Structure 1
Amino acid sequence: MSTESLFIPVKLPQQKHYNNGITFPAVLSPNPEKLSNNTVPFSSVLQAIKSSAAALESLLSETGAILFKGFPVVSASDFNDVVEAFGFLELPYVGGAAPRSNVVGRVFTANESPPDQKIPFHHEMAQVPEFPAKLFFFCEVEPGSGGETPIVLSHIIYERMKDKYPDFVEKLEDTGLIYTRVLGEDDDPSSPIGRGWKSTFLTKDKSVAEERAAKLGMKLEWMEDSVKTIMGPIPAIKYDKERQRKIWFNSMVAAYTGWKDARNDPVKAVTFGDGQALPAHIIYDCLRILDEESVAIPWQKGDVLLLDNLAVLHSRRSFEPPRRVLASLCK
């Protein structure tokens, strides 16, 4: 079976359409002309990804996000094969806050925090210097209800914030941000930021943890049964060289509104780079703008979402179980 033109664009009501002709996100489904008995062999999907790699990367660069719907991706192993087919290098999950478990190969669970908790908008691992360039998500079990992964274009948020709060954005650009988080020894699955220091730094040895933290530019302050991590000042606004535009590349809203558990106070979790407190009313207005500009397409089993982590922020809505969304991080 020919894999040429296996992918065709489709329209969904949730997509946003911008004046520059971009539709966000791009949504691709199997070409009906390439189906046999209304199906497409999984092996043909992998071949099509490999043969269309340059075109798919170009589309990702143009739109920031591609949702693949209707393809026979059934299991975590299938998803791992899809990720491998793209040929992106794997990025180890070192320094991230979310509790995750390895499932198979390069595939991890997405944030395992409780279903009643929202996960605020963020660029993946924006609070550390080494972050993934691309993210994959895969819906293995679709939610009972809710559980969407809203996405939003980062440069749109920068432009709106710069227009409404120029002084605030100027200070962000001047000072950056400092992120502070207290980690227990082991993972706390009841917390959206409950990753313990052992899994954060992939070691049980405190001296090794300190070495790995230092490579990230992170300071550690050990306490009786936990450790305080201090990252920054680190830029809150980046320049996307490929697209030649500034982006809202930070975890400010996520930290300020969501880094809360028995050990952490979200208001203290993130400050300006000079240590000054952030203005709450601006943070919550930024959250409103993020919601307003976002796209939330309901998950269906087999969906694969590919994000350019420099171009797009993502979040997670609360949900009624079951729901199982898997992830993979790439350089």
Structure 2
Amino acid sequence: MNIKSIKRKPIIVSSEKLIKTEFINEQKLPLVIQPAVDGIDLAAWIANNRQWLETQLFQYGGILFRNFNLINPEDFQVCIQAISSELIEYSYRSTPRSQVSGKIYTSTEYPPAESIPLHNEMAYSSSWPMKIGFFCVEVAEKGGETPIADSRKIWQRIPPKIKEEFIEKKVMYVRNYGQGLDLDWETVFQTNQKSEVENYCRNVGIEFAWLADGNQLRTRQVCQAVAIHPQTGDMVWFNQAHLFHVSSLKTEVRESLLAIVKTEDLPRNAYYGDGSEIANSVLAEINEIYWQEAVMFPWQAGDILMLDNMLTAHGRQPFVGSRQVLVGMAEPYSLD
């Protein structure tokens, strides 16, 4: 037999055989994807299976990529871009973060002993990222999990009377910047030009006023309390009233603040859209529903957790030791 006459045939391995899937719990959140063979380039695999991944994300709300030997922020960014090419800058900020590389940021830089309630990213705005990804660089010595919860189930469990009032009135977010008690307006809007702040506010429907010496800013914005997912048609609970409301602060912190500032001068607060008060008991009930639906799992270094930001809320548990989890946001969406 003439070896040169033998034609080589390519061996085709289906994408499904390259990975294996499982669930961490009975809630089926998140879907866990791991390599079935060695040496898989996760970013390339994602790019070749983007439609299938979108379907899984719409169904389950979250996907955990594990054991793909990812090491640095660049690995993370390439993977996010593979599933969604348009990454978002963190421009209208609510919490302190640092830019790491490109449009990759640290997760919220709150003290390790503090927990962060479950929420959907930028639900305090009329525009938000449809996808948010988390990348674990370093696992905390203890704690530091990122709890997640299905926003569809949260919507279903909230009592009808509470739903009705929020749907009718919506949510008003009031923020005061420049008092040294929270983020200043330069950090929130990523500029030191007042004219740029004013233009931004006008464009997105935020009322604003410069106070005192002209360097303190107060804003008011009325936004949605619930939303309909543009692809799945699912109704979801989608606001951050429970985070912005003064009742979210620890009792001693809240009392100390109110001893030195008026209620209207608090760094942030939330009301119904007509300006009326939201009862503490209502927000406590909503918070409790979030935690009843919460799913937690221990991080492993190299994990990527990709969430549909409308379908799945996220938070953070307190931790001990050093912890580094990075964040990337993608696919800007606006109600307008």
Q: Normalising by the residue count of structure 1, what TM-score does the alignment of the two structures yield?
A: 0.86
Structure 1: how far apart are the matches of 2:249 and 2:49? Answer: 40
State the partner residue of 1:281.
281
Query: Residues 70-91 of structure 1, C-alpha deviation per residue, up to 9 Å, x if partnerless?
Result: 1111111211121122233112
State the partner residue of 2:290.
290
Give the secondary-structure state (helix, strand or coil) at the position aligned to 2:291.
helix
Maintained 8 Å contact 2:67/2:302 = yes
- Please say if 1:195 is aligned against 2:205: no
Maintained 8 Å contact 1:220/1:230 = yes
Given candidates 205, 208, 216, the residue that maps to 1:226 is 216
Shift of 1:94: 2.1
> What letter corresponds to residue 216 of structure 2 in structure 1?
S
Task: Pick which of 302-311 and 84-93 moved more.
Answer: 84-93
Give the secondary-structure state (helix, strand or coil) at the position aligned to 1:133.
strand
State the partner residue of 1:316.
316
Query: Residues 104-125 of structure 1, C-alpha deviation per residue, up to 9 Å, x if partnerless?
Result: 1221111111111111121100
State the partner residue of 2:228.
239
State the partner residue of 1:25.
30
Maintained 8 Å contact 2:23/2:29 = no
Provide the aligned length of Structure 1 versus Structure 2.
306
Query: Residues 127-150 of structure 1, C-alpha deviation per residue, up to 9 Å, x if partnerless?
Result: 111100100100111111111111
Assess, with a 3 A threshold, how the Cα gap between structure 1 residues 259 and 221 changes in structure 2: closer, same or farther.
farther
State the partner residue of 1:151.
148
- Bigger radius of gyration: 2
Structure 1: how far apart are the matches of 2:244 and 2:321? Answer: 25
Maintained 8 Å contact 1:88/1:330 = yes
Given candidates 238, 250, 255, the residue that maps to 2:239 is 250
Maintained 8 Å contact 1:3/1:45 = no
Structure 2: how far apart are the matches of 1:307 and 1:314? Answer: 9
Give the secondary-structure state (helix, strand or coil) at the position aligned to 1:126.
coil
State the partner residue of 2:163.
169
What RMSD over aligned residues (CA atoms) do the two structures have, in Å?
Answer: 2.3
> What letter corresponds to residue 276 of structure 1 in structure 2?
S
Structure 2: how far apart are the matches of 1:184 and 1:300? Answer: 39
Structure 2: how far apart are the matches of 1:93 and 1:311? Answer: 20
State the partner residue of 2:6.
none
Structure 1: how far apart are the matches of 2:238 and 2:84? Answer: 25
Assess, with a 3 A threshold, how the Cα gap between structure 1 residues 319 and 264 changes in structure 2: closer, same or farther.
farther
> What letter corresponds to residue 177 of structure 1 in structure 2?
V
Q: Normalising by the residue count of structure 2, what TM-score does the alignment of the two structures yield?
A: 0.85
State the partner residue of 1:124.
121
Gaps of 5+ in 2: 1-10, 332-336
Maintained 8 Å contact 2:34/2:68 = yes
Structure 2: how far apart are the matches of 1:211 and 1:258? Answer: 31
Structure 2: how far apart are the matches of 1:306 and 1:264? Answer: 40
Gaps of 5+ in 1: 18-22
State the partner residue of 1:112.
109
> What letter corresponds to residue 326 of structure 1 in structure 2?
L
Maintained 8 Å contact 2:92/2:190 = no
- Please say if 1:72 is aligned against 2:72: no
- Please say if 1:10 is aligned against 2:22: yes
Task: Pick which of 223-232 and 44-53 moved more.
Answer: 223-232
Assess, with a 3 A threshold, how the Cα gap between structure 1 residues 258 and 176 changes in structure 2: closer, same or farther.
same
Shift of 1:267: 11
1:299-310 aligned at under 5 Å gives the runs: 299-310=299-310
Structure 1: how far apart are the matches of 2:191 and 2:236? Answer: 33
Assess, with a 3 A threshold, how the Cα gap between structure 1 residues 47 and 229 changes in structure 2: closer, same or farther.
same
> What letter corresponds to residue 56 of structure 1 in structure 2?
L
State the partner residue of 1:61.
58
Shift of 1:66: 0.4
Query: Residues 275-323 of structure 1, C-alpha deviation per residue, up to 9 Å, x if partnerless?
Result: 1111111211211111011101111111100010111111111111200
Query: Residues 143-192 of structure 1, C-alpha deviation per residue, up to 9 Å, x if partnerless?
Result: 1111111111111111111xxx322211111110001122238xx7xx8x
> What letter corresponds to residue 74 of structure 1 in structure 2?
I
Structure 2: how far apart are the matches of 1:16 and 1:235? Answer: 31
Maintained 8 Å contact 1:197/1:227 = yes
Identity of aligned residues (%): 28
Shift of 1:101: 1.2
State the partner residue of 1:20.
none
Structure 1: how far apart are the matches of 2:273 and 2:82? Answer: 40
Give the secondary-structure state (helix, strand or coil) at the position aligned to 1:276.
coil
Q: Following TM superposition, where does structure 1 have runs of at least 4 consecutive aligned residues deviating by more than 4 angstroms?
A: 259-268
> What letter corresponds to residue 242 of structure 1 in structure 2?
Q
